Structure 1
Amino acid sequence: MTFVESKSERIRPERFHGTAGVEDWRVVGEGACAYFRTGSFAVGARFVGAISEIPGAGGGHPDVDVRQDAVIVRLITITDDYYGLTERHVELARRISAVARTLGISADPSAVQTVQVTVDALEGPKVVAFWRVLLGYQDRAHSGEDLIDPHRRGAPFYFQRMDAPRPQRNRVHIDVWVPYDQAEARIAAALAAGGRLVNDADAPSNWVLADPEDNEACVGVAGSPAPTTDHA
């Protein structure tokens, strides 16, 4: 395997989390994300400029969101047949974190999350076709059941197949992807706020909750660190 091929190797969230030097980052539903508290827009702009000068940063396709007092960076590969992380993102995450430390900027992993809208449908292709054109979205890696914003602005939509009508329950719910080390606290807070636990059969990767009127939401975790001796 060549060097270029090795950097393009697809990896799972556990592999990313289990590598040294990426402690600032958390893999959620939409890739590896980091939330850097810059304190001001001016510092954030300098940080983004420094990221752009990292060798190979363009090849890693980082998405950067600059806010008044923070910069959010997302690393993900989006192609016709793949939506996820590669080895290239591990090294890029390390270098971005190193730049942040040089500028005196700290990361706050607890501030990371992504949100997805899930629609339950009996006739998936017809429902997907409607939402695809209405939202101006496109298929995620030709999945046929996932739609993403081609401009990377809005929440993704996932279409979950139903075998029979469910008139007694809602047909749309929200998926909230949180860092692996924030899930239990988030769930506890939601329960304390009047929610109830519907299903935890897939814990610790997914919990189904409901609000006081039975509108449902899922709390998802993309993977916790896996022990590894490879820190390359």
Structure 2
Amino acid sequence: MAANDVLTRAQIDAELASLPHWRYRLGGLAAVLKCPTSAAALELFATIGAMAQAANHHPDVDWRYDTLFVTLTSHDAGSKVTARDAALATAISAAAVRAGATAHPELLRAVEIALDSDDYAAIAPVWAAALGFKAGESDDLLDPSGRLPNIWFQETQTPNPNRFHFDIHVPASEAQGVLAAVEAAGATLDHANAPAFVIATDAQGNRLCICTEEGRDGA
């Protein structure tokens, strides 16, 4: 397999079987690595940077005190997972073990802003121009710098009166715990589209969706 080859979902799942630190999320591989100290986290950050330079393939890394949030995707392959991502994830995991880091997939969250629309093609250019976003898949917009939440236009012939809602992406392995906490906090849950997503409605009628990698990315 060539390094630039986009992996199928079955191939991604096969790679993840040997990558316990990592989860599949929104077209990328993601991990949360908690180190023994802040200094150890910085050292691991530097190690990841050196490996990325050597591989000419660069992950997004967010350093927060003793914890690194790492995301791998191949932008030149349409922001998909390729063999390069799996290879670098393997190397990062080995470095994390040497650094004494532990994985915390329960901390993985990614937020999309979803907008109900019965004709998203008519409005997407406005949002792209205003935000400086680029087209991703046919129905979403992405921040080229990866800093801001994606916008996903949820096509529906019956848009909700409150058309905006958050899509909260969590690993499927963590979804039941998140859903239980949301329900305990007072939301009602609609499981009709599970495991792709569960619609949560708060006491005032506001909606959000708890989404997993079994959703659009798994199609």
Question: Structure 1-normalised TM-score?
Answer: 0.83
| Long gaps (5+) in structure 1 | 225-232
1:31-69 deviation per Cα after TM superposition (whole angstroms, max 9, x unaligned): 111111124443222111111222776433311111112
Trace 1:19-98 onto structure 2 (pairs within 5 A): 19=15, 20-54=17-51, 58-79=55-76, 82-98=78-94
Report the more deviating stretch, 93-102 or 44-53.
44-53
1:16-37 deviation per Cα after TM superposition (whole angstroms, max 9, x unaligned): 2333431001112251111111
State the number of aligned residues: 214
Matched, 1:110 2:110: no
Matched, 1:182 2:182: no
| Long gaps (5+) in structure 2 | none
2:147 to 136, 139, 153: 153
Structure 1 stretches (4+) deviating beyond 6 angstroms? none
Higher normalized helix content (fraction of residues) = 2
Matched, 1:196 2:165: no
CA–CA separation in structure 1 for the residues paired with 2:117 and 2:52? 45
Aligned counterpart, 1:221: 212
2:203 to 184, 209, 212: 212
Aligned counterpart, 1:125: 121
Higher relative contact order, chain-length normalized (CA < 8 Å, sep 6+): 1
1:60-114 deviation per Cα after TM superposition (whole angstroms, max 9, x unaligned): 33111111121111011123x6222112212211110100111112221211121
Report the more deviating stretch, 109-118 or 81-90.
81-90
Letter of the 1:182 counterpart:
E
Letter of the 1:185 counterpart:
G
